Structures are given as C-alpha cells and as structure tokens.
Chains A and B, each alone.
Chain A
Amino acid sequence: MPITLVKKIKADGAPCRKCAEVEQRLRDSNLWHRIDRIVIADERDPESEGMQLATQYQVDLAPFFIVEEDGHPAQVHTIYTRFVKEVLKAKTSEQEELAEVMENNNLDYL
C-alpha cells in the first residue's frame, strides 16, 4: 500500500506552514516511515508533479495523501487526522480532530 504525501511550495517560494506541521506531527508520532514518497506541488510551476497530481485527483488543499492499493482506485486524503486513523490505524486526540475541522471548514453559519 504505497503512500504519497504531496506538500506545497507557495507562490512566493515559501514552504507551506500546514505541510510542515503535518510532517512534524507524523515524525513526532513515529509514523513518518509509513510515507513512501514525498512529492512537491509548487504553485510557481503548474507542471510540477504535485500540481499535476492535484489536478488529476481534483484536490484543492495541501498537504494531501494518495494511498494506492492493488486492484482498487487510489484514495486521496486531505484530512490529516482521518488519514492517520483510517489508513495508518493510529490514534489521534479529540482536540486534534476538532482543531482540524475548524482549520479546514468555514462553520460561521453555526
């Protein structure tokens, strides 16, 4: 089950803060070794492999994970805590999960 992590470089050439956070959390949780390949989505270069993958999978958030399994279509995960729980079968805290929901969603209608 090869797992690819797609990280972003922003249009101004700076690394994406969220991507760095996710990488650090994987390292802190001893899960980094489960990532087989890291690909860069460089916003300055639409031909970069990560940008091509984003187009192919219609993803508009970074970072994201692509999980490939023989005989199945590739699965794309943009929610870190769900990826950790469902794919890596590791634990996440409720605090982390709620924070990620807030980070990724505009819930101001509530």
Chain B
Amino acid sequence: MPIVTSEVSRLASEYKNRPPQEILELAFSHFTNIAISFSGAEDVVLVDMASKIKKGVQVFSLDTGRLSPETYRFIERVREKYPIALEVLFPDPAAVEKLVKEKGLFSFYKDGHKECCAIRKVGPLRRKLQALDAWVTGQRKDQSPGTRAAVAVIEADMAFSTQDHALIKFNPLANWSSAEVWQYIRDNDVPYNELHQRGFMSIGCEPCTRAVLPNQQEREGRWWWEEETIKECGLHVRNMSR
C-alpha cells in the first residue's frame, strides 16, 4: 500500500539512520510505480543496490543534449550491466530550438543556468514524474552543505506534486558521505563515470561541469560563475530571535 503524505515525516524520522538498502526496500515494498533517477554519476550505487533487491527496476536518465561523451558511454555501460529498465528522457525539441534561436548555445554563462535547465531538465523530469507515484534520487547532504543540509530520506515532493497527484521522494543516500559512496563503489565493483578519474566530483552537462581541486566543495564544480548559495526568496525566520 503506498505511503501517504501524512506518514512521511514519521517514516523519515524512523528511517533516517537506516542503511540506503533498507530505505530502498521500504520504497519498493510500498510502490510499484516508482523509478530511480540516474544522473550518470556516482548515484549509480542506487542502481546497484536496487538491482540486488528487485529485478527490472525502472530507472531514468535525463539527456539534456549537452552531456559529456563519457557520461553517454557510462549510461550505456550501466544499461548493459544491470537488469533494469533504463529510460532516457529528452527535452521538448521546440522549447530547445526556441531557446537556442533566441539566445544561442551558451546563454547560461550570461543569463544563468536556470532557464536552460528548466527546458532541458525540468520539462522532461516533470513529464516523467507526473506518471509516477514515487521516485528515488541520489541527493546527499554533503553535496552542498549550504542548501541541502535538511534533506530527509523520505519526503513529500512539494515541487512536483499537484492537487490531484501526490508524489513521494526517497533519498536513500541523504546521510551518506562521498567517502561512503566511493567505498561502496570499490567494495561492490560498481562501474563509474570515467570523468571521476579526472577530478570531476559532480557531473552534469559538459559546459556547466568542471573538475575540482582537493578539498573543494563538490558543487564548486557546477555553475562556478554563479553565486548559488544566496537564495533571495528565503525568509530568515530563524534569525528572528533577539
């Protein structure tokens, strides 16, 4: 029986210190119409874990049209290795054509990445999520301490739920560190994107991703020309006490 929104905070609290595999088991025991989002990076550990729990797990990747060749090759290696149903999703061609016609191929360096990401990532993602009851992501708290410290292992997905369609999001790796993810990759002989060997920690679109130096934050390798930590629309309620 699917988890309903009112149960989410209790389950998030109950499972917050459980291993990722138990969170995946919980997800698959409650949802059949569920898919894993695979970005072509180290979230491959979720695919490995899930395929040991259940055969034929739904997995999807967003092909923005701007991924690195290494990422395309990696996605295919994952498809060949695991007994999964891997779907590659594409953006609306008309929307991409309009953006490129109006602003060129590198508008994100001038206008910020969000407009391009909205078209190339969020559009196809939303289309996919409208057809699911739950999804699984590889987001972790340590990826961006400034913006992701509060990620729970189970959430009601307020970004993509609608009045008529509640969507539950599982983040089994929320409390894992990068070191734990890589320990799992080594221990389980999990394939990984060759870009990691060249200093890339976070892997997204080719023009928006770069290698980072030792001890740099993972997200410093993405959209480095923008200031991502400032969210102007935040209401600083916690600073109110005097």
Contact = CB atoms under 8 A, between A and B. Distances in A.
Contact of A43 (B122, B202, B236): B236
Enumerate the 5 nearest inter-chain pairs by beta-carbon distance, A residue then B residue, closest first.
A46-B240, A109-B139, A98-B118, A102-B114, A102-B118
Interface stretch (A24-32, A51-59, A65-73): A51-59
B121 A107 contact: yes
Given A55-B240, A94-B123, A108 B204 contact: yes
A61 interface: yes
Interface residues of B, number: 44
Contacts of A54: 235, 237
Contacts of B162: 82, 86
A37 interface: no
Given A94-B123, A109-B137, A51 B237 contact: yes
Interface of B: 37, 39, 43, 62, 95, 114-115, 117-119, 121-123, 125-126, 137-140, 143-144, 147-148, 158-160, 162-163, 202, 204, 219, 222-223, 228, 232-237, 239-242
A46 B37 CA distance: 40
A11 interface: yes
Contact of B233 (A62, A97, A108): A62
Contact of B242 (A46, A103, A108): A46
B159 A8 contact: no
Contact of B144 (A79, A94, A103, A106): A106
A105 B242 CA distance: 30
A8 B137 contact: no
A42 B219 CA distance: 32
A107 B160 CA distance: 12
A101 B235 contact: no
A11 B230 CA distance: 14
Nearest to B37: A110
Contacts of A88: none
A101 B118 contact: yes
